[in-house]
Amino acid sequence: MLVKTPRMGEKMKIRYHCTQAELYSVCDSIIRNLDGKLAEFVAYKGKYTAGFVTDLKGKLDTAQNLGDFQQSGTESETDRIDLLELNRKCLLNFQFLQGYIDGVWKSAEERRIMKEAAGHKYYKPASQNNWEFTEGMNSNAMQFITAQSVVLQDGGLNMPAAFATTYSDDAKAYSKKYGEFLHATQTGVATQEKIKANNDLHAVVMAVCADGKRVFAHDGGKQNLFVWRRVLEIVTPAGSAGLRVLVVNKNSEVIKGAKFSVWKKPNKKRGRKAKIKNQKLKTVTPEVMTTAPYKSGVSGDDGVVLLKTVERGKYLWKISADGVQDVIGEKRVLRGAVSRMKIVIE
């Protein structure tokens, strides 16, 4: 198998589309499945021996023992959270632009051509937080708006004249933050070694999965033991989620020892009076927050609180730290993912 290696100075990319913890859990499960079905694999390819399984377990151990990397400590973690919000703004701007295109070009074919010219091909990967695609989307969109400004405004009946400035400002802010994020992200040997080990592990296990689908082509139950998505669903159940909170002060310095708690938000009928805005202090605490919290945690040296296996849904949260007033807000936790948020305590 040919493995593409990065050029000098080029950052190695992560090739797996899940969290690092999920990568290790899924690989461990598939390796165990392979060990249990080794006889069937041996009949298909001679390479599948007990030694092959041992080597694969070794790859998993090596990757795990290299130690975790963050994208890359407090500075880049803060930049990433800011980048997510700026990316959201740019995506919303592009959605508005598509609406303005729909407003002046009437045929479906014309609208398709214009949206492609505006950068539509970049939108989906950009919405999946592939940062460089957002840059491409913004660049194409701004060129398109400049070239088609008069048509898009339609005499004041369609796109507001100020929209071009709004999109331009958001795009510039995104580009600036993206540059800061890249600068802050670790590019050292240790991090690159970790990424390479994870990528190599993933590639070998995916090859096992491909063979597993062939070996058990006529047995769906056994075949699912080697379908990455199926195993991932078992490792991370559909309703399972998590919440990662970074606590900082107004100078972006991390705060250690802050207590973070969440309560399940009441349904609409009972919870209207409990509705609050993120990070806005209220003098009256919602009734549900006077009970024991659903989950709690304390920020560590890195200012991070990590709540695992949080049921998806809407939550009310409260952060308490020495010398400052409590801050409360709302947060939606997504299914099957670790939702992230940054809380600034002033």
pLDDT tops 90 at residue 265: no
C-beta of residue 244 within 8 angstroms of C-beta of residue 295: no
Q: How far is CA 147 from CA 110, 120, 143, 165, in A?
A: 16, 16, 6, 14
pLDDT tops 90 at residue 236: no
Query: Exposed, middle or buried, 37 (CB in 10 Å: 0-12/13-18/19+)?
Result: middle
The pLDDT of residue 45 is 94
The pLDDT of residue 76 is 54
pLDDT (average), residues 4-29: 70
Q: Report percent pLDDT > 90 for the chain.
A: 41
Q: What stretches of the chain show up as alpha helix (H) in DSSP?
A: 20-36, 38-44, 50-65, 73-104, 108-118, 123-127, 131-153, 163-184, 189-215, 220-223, 228-235, 268-271
Q: What is the pTM of this model?
A: 0.41
The pLDDT of residue 258 is 92
Nearest Cα to 93, choosing from 113, 150, 117, 101?
Answer: 101
Tens of pLDDT, residues 291-318: 888 889 999 887 888 887 777 778 889 9
pLDDT (average), residues 81-98: 91
Residues 6+ apart with CB under 8 A from 215: 37, 40, 41, 43, 44, 226
Query: Exposed, middle or buried, 197 (CB in 10 Å: 0-12/13-18/19+)?
Result: middle
Rg (CA), the chain: 24
Type of residue found at 126: A
- CATH code matching the domain that covers 240-345, chosen among 3.90.1150.10, 2.60.40.10, 3.90.1310.10, 2.160.10.10: 2.60.40.10
C-beta of residue 126 within 8 angstroms of C-beta of residue 137: yes
215-224: list long-range contacts, CB under 8 Å, 24+ apart. 215/37, 215/40, 215/41, 215/43, 215/44, 216/37, 216/40, 222/37, 222/40
Written as six digits, the tokens of 307 are: 């709540």
* Top-confidence residue, 13 or 200: 200
Q: Say if strands 327-333 and 295-298 run parallel, antiparallel, or are unpaired.
A: unpaired
Tens of pLDDT, residues 25-72: 889 999 999 999 999 999 999 999 999 999 999 999 888 887 555 444
C-beta of residue 266 within 8 angstroms of C-beta of residue 233: no
pLDDT tops 60 at residue 225: yes
C-alpha 78/C-alpha 248 separation (Å) is 9
The half-sphere exposure of 51 on its side-chain side, counting CA atoms within 13 A, is: 2
C-alpha 253/C-alpha 334 separation (Å) is 27
Give the residue extent of every domain in the chain.
20-69+187-235, 73-184, 240-345
